Amino acid sequence: MLQPENKTLLENGIRILTKNMPYSCSVSMGVCVNAGARDESQDESGLFHFIEHMLFKGTAKRSAFQIAKEFDAMGGNANAFTSMETTCYHARVITSHTETAADLLTDIFLNSTFDFEEVEKERPVIIQEIGMVEDNPEDYIHLLSGQYCFRNNPLGHSVLGTRENVLNFNTDRVKEFFRCRYQPQRTVISIAGNIDHNQILDAVGLAFGSLKRGDGFPERVTPSVHPGINLFEQDLEQVHLCVSLKGLSLTDERRYAFSLMNTILGGNMSSRLFQEIREKRGLAYSVYSFISSYDDTGVLGAYVAVDTGNAVEAADVIIREIKRLKENAVDPGELKDAVEYTKGCLLLSSESTDSQMFRQAQNEINFGRNIPLPEVINAIESVTSEDIYNLAGSLFGSDNLSLTLLGPFSDKKQLENILTL
């Protein structure tokens, strides 16, 4: 059984959270900053991600090789990610290596040197990463769809930045950006596993407490969701297609109904899109819907990859299924299945220290408190068919419906007749 979480607020604003999982043999820890790609200007785009790479490239007392070797010697794993609103450095190790892993994460976060030679070596690596995304049509269509949907807003930028920006970032700029944007009051240290809260405070509290409080963080501007059709012709085997609609923010009180609606639409193998497009019509191997939610806005999207001759039919099915959610209440049996599926995913993931660590950090960033799993399950079970019907009616309209295609397709007129809700 999971034990109650503990929380300590340091004087500089850093929050240290622990969740004791007494029967776990591993510990997951993360240093998460409420800052990401949407907090960059056009010429800064890619800096958070660049810094993510550089924090593993050497500190005042460890080289890049020593950092990698020490993590490997523990038999654990360490990684990092940058998203639109969060940057996180995390590790998972067996319990006996907790203090060593905490020391390593503390060192790379507080004492990275951003050495000139390491910056120059990492620059082409990130350029290659940008190329990898562009070479993967499924990844690239999501990027293009976001750029079109949120154009003229940082939420439409690539987390990786542009080649031009990456080539122009220098050591001084990286250091200054890190100093200004990695603010303690926006930082959460989250740890889950068979650990003691006071042990963690002793391991990281003094060092992180020395981080100076920052100010002047850029204001986040809420974008509109732009409607329309966007075509990117490319010589590919398939047409990759994304439909995007206005969604909900991370903290919207209707978020549980939104999640269940996504599950029903295309969130699993028994969903409407999977059954209609793959099982009944045999149009595609990969088809699903997804949610991208942020601090102040969100998107409900759907993706499919099909032969060129089936692109219009697939787009039409997706839009008609979205329209069906808006026009007809979900069958109670279908809703019950979605509820049980969602509960199962949550309960199974609760056994993972990684899942508990990330969930605890995100709850703190988004709500300022941990939301207990029974509270979440109760909210999910309370959603009604009417809730989903009303939500679809309030969100979905032709004025926020966008369609993005990547591949061998150029006939925009064929799509214009079906792009209506």
3-state secondary structure of 101: helix
**What is the Cβ-side half-sphere exposure of residue 358, based on CA atoms within 13 angstroms?**
16
DSSP state of 151: T
What secondary structure does DSSP assign to 24-50, as a single string?
-SEEEEEEEES--GGGS-GGGTTHHHH
Q: Tokens for 269, please give them.
A: 């193998």
| Cα separations in angstroms, 366 against 185, 248, 252, 314, 360 | 13, 14, 11, 36, 10
Q: For residue 375, which phi and psi values (nearest 5 degrees)?
A: -65, -40
Sign of the Cα torsion 82, 83, 85, 91 reads negative
- Annotated catalytic residues are 52
Which amino acid is residue 110, in one-letter code? L
Between CA 74 and CA 95 the distance in angstroms is 10
Q: Cα-Cα-Cα-Cα dihedral of 132, 133, 136, 139, to 10°?
A: 160
Are the beta carbons of 169 and 46 closer than 8 angstroms? yes
How many CB atoms neighbour CB 77 within 10 A?
A: 13
Q: Tokens for 12, please give them.
A: 């500089």
Which string of b and e fits 263-273 if b means at least 16 CB within 10 Å?
bbbbbbeebbb
